[in-house]
Copies of this chain bind each other. A is one copy, B any other.
Amino acid sequence: MRLFSENGYTGTGVSELGEAAGLARGALYYYIGSKEALLAEIHDRVMDPLLAEAKLIAAMDIGSRARLRLLSESLLWQILHRPDNVWVFLHEYRHLEGEHRAQFREKRRAFETYVGTALEEGRQSGEVVTSDPDLTTLAFFNLHNYTYQWQAGHPGLEVEKLASFYCAILLRGIGAVEQPDDPELRDELTKGRSVLAALRSA
């Protein structure tokens, strides 16, 4: 995980992995089968706990705000407490091919469904106000997943506080999306866009 996160999947050789593990190439292949199988294993070590917790959360008899918060905390726990593992998970997934890729996509889709379902449940109970549940689900993952990029430069981040921050933004914020811009703002935006359009065509 450390080597893949530091030098990238393609940028890390099996010799380096063996050196870090205290094994020569041959012995390493005896255990991992292939470099790609090792990458798949790393992805499973993020996805499997995430899905196990999401399944528990989905079965809880709680409101959808609490369900979303717990899903948020699960995801952020991985991101903040296993940064190398999550970096590989979110950054190198495209190098999975064939069956590895299919399994990974299915697990990701399953987790996204847990979040989407919680949001839809909240929409029906009135706890979440949104006219575009799909875009709201995407915004949920924008907020959470990109955290892996800057997390290392901001020590002291706490799972529960960050989950509270992200969920507050989402649950309160999306309710405002349908409000049309007021006339003054519309006017300023129109002017500004025309100035920028001039720059782009120049």
Main secondary structure of the interface of A (DSSP, over half): helix
The yes or no answer to A31 lying at the interface (CB within 8 A) is no
A5 to chain B, nearest CB (A): 10
CB of B192 within 8 A of CB of A62, answer yes
CB of B169 within 8 A of CB of A169, answer yes
Q: Considering the chains assembled together, what is the distance between the CA atoms of A44 and B79 in angstroms?
A: 29
Counting every copy of the chain, the complex holds 2
Residues on the B chain within 8 Å of A166, using CB: 139
A59 to chain B, nearest CB (A): 9
CB of A142 within 8 A of CB of B147, answer yes
CB of B11 within 8 A of CB of A189, answer no
Question: A146-168 interface mask toward B, CB cutoff 8 Å, 1 = contact, 0 = none?
Answer: 11011000100000000011101
Q: List 25 A-B contacts (CB under 8 A).
A: A8-B10, A8-B95, A10-B11, A49-B200, A52-B199, A60-B188, A60-B195, A65-B185, A66-B185, A70-B193, A74-B196, A139-B166, A142-B142, A142-B145, A143-B143, A143-B146, A145-B146, A165-B177, A168-B174, A169-B169, A169-B170, A169-B173, A170-B173, A171-B176, A172-B176
